[in-house]
Structure 1
Amino acid sequence: MFRLVALLSGFIFGMGMMVSGMVNPAKVIGFLDVFGQWDPSLAFVMGGALLIFVPGYFLAIRQQQQPILADQFCLPQTRKIDKKLISGALLFGIGWGLAGLCPGPAVTAIGSGALPISLFVISMLVGMRLVNLFNTSSNRTVAAER
């Protein structure tokens, strides 16, 4: 049941990305170009998503002891703003601004077969792997120093 709900959720998410235009890099770059010919339409997409998410999130957290299809909620354990968070946010923002894509819409758009989107997703996966390798080796170094 969990996998079916995950598949359905991913399908709905992907359809929303396509209908809203978030898989179109030109539309995203138009949204990010606040000092040029700014396209505010994606602000409405994000606002609409927040109007649904925020009340649902707080309702679920307050009303339920655990999720319907999982043993527990997977919530962040810290609210600390550190170098890792800031550098990740900067990298994400720079990538989004340069490519006009972020991971969700990029994975959705890979079905288009467009070479730039495929290269973006491949680069994203390589970057994720490198970060994972770096974090693993950093953790080993810290453990060895103890």
Structure 2
Amino acid sequence: MRALSAFIVGGLFGAGLLISGMTDTTKVQGWLDFFGEWDPTLAFVMGGAIIPMAIAWRFTSNRAPVLGGDFPARPTSELDTNLVVGSVMFGVGWGLSGLCPGPSIASLSFDGWGGLAFVAAMIAGMYVAPKIKSRLDAALGSA
């Protein structure tokens, strides 16, 4: 049952990415092009994600998911170096490539070698980043 629901939810998520245009790199880059040919349509996609999530956070306190596990921890309002650096790196990557993790996985089915190269680089970055952070923390902690 859990695998079937994951398959259905994953398919629904992928269909939403495709329909909303989040897998179209030119649409995403158009959203980020404030001083050129700005395309504001992704604001509706973001609102369509943020508003239901804000409502969901409200209704999940002291509850458990029907199919097991735990709901993610509530976000905090604390700004720290990790959040700022991570956000900047995500934004730069999103702006340069027009893809973020979810749409990049969806793009594997139609984007050819470019999509595969992006996903490979993303996975490599996810593997290497914690190691670099550990070394930096150790070096800065001993300075």
Q: Which band: TM-score by shorter chain?
A: 0.7 to 0.9
Partner of 1:32: 32
Pairwise CA RMSD: 2.2
Q: Which moved more, 1:112-121 or 1:32-41?
A: 112-121
2:67 corresponds, among 35, 53, 69, to 69
Q: TM-score, normalised by structure 1?
A: 0.83
Runs of 5+ in structure 2 lacking a partner? Answer: none
- Map of 1:88 onto structure 2: 86
Shift of 1:89: 0.7
Match of 1:104 among 89, 94, 102: 102
Structure 1 unaligned runs (5+)? none
* 1:50 CA drift (Å): 2.4
Counterpart CA distance in 2 for 1:59 and 1:76 is 12
Could you tell me how far apart the structure 1 residues matched to 2:135 and 2:19 are?
41
State whether residues 60 and 71 of structure 2, in contact with CA within 8 Å, keep that contact through their aligned partners in structure 1.
no
Contact 2:94 2:100 in 1 (8 A): yes
- State the shift of 1:59 in Å: 1.7
**Residue equivalent to 2:56:** 56
Alignment-derived partner of residue 116 in structure 2: 118
1:87 shift after superposition: 0.8
Q: Across the two proteins, how many residue pairs are aligned to each other?
A: 140
Report the TM-score, using the length of structure 2 for normalisation: 0.85
Deviation, 1:34, is 1.0
SS of the residue aligned with 2:121? helix
Q: Is the 8 A contact 2:30 2:37 kept in 1?
A: yes
Cα 1:121–1:136 change in 2 (3 A) is same
Greater per-residue helix proportion: 1
* Alpha-carbon distance in structure 1 between the residues aligned to 2:33 and 2:111: 26
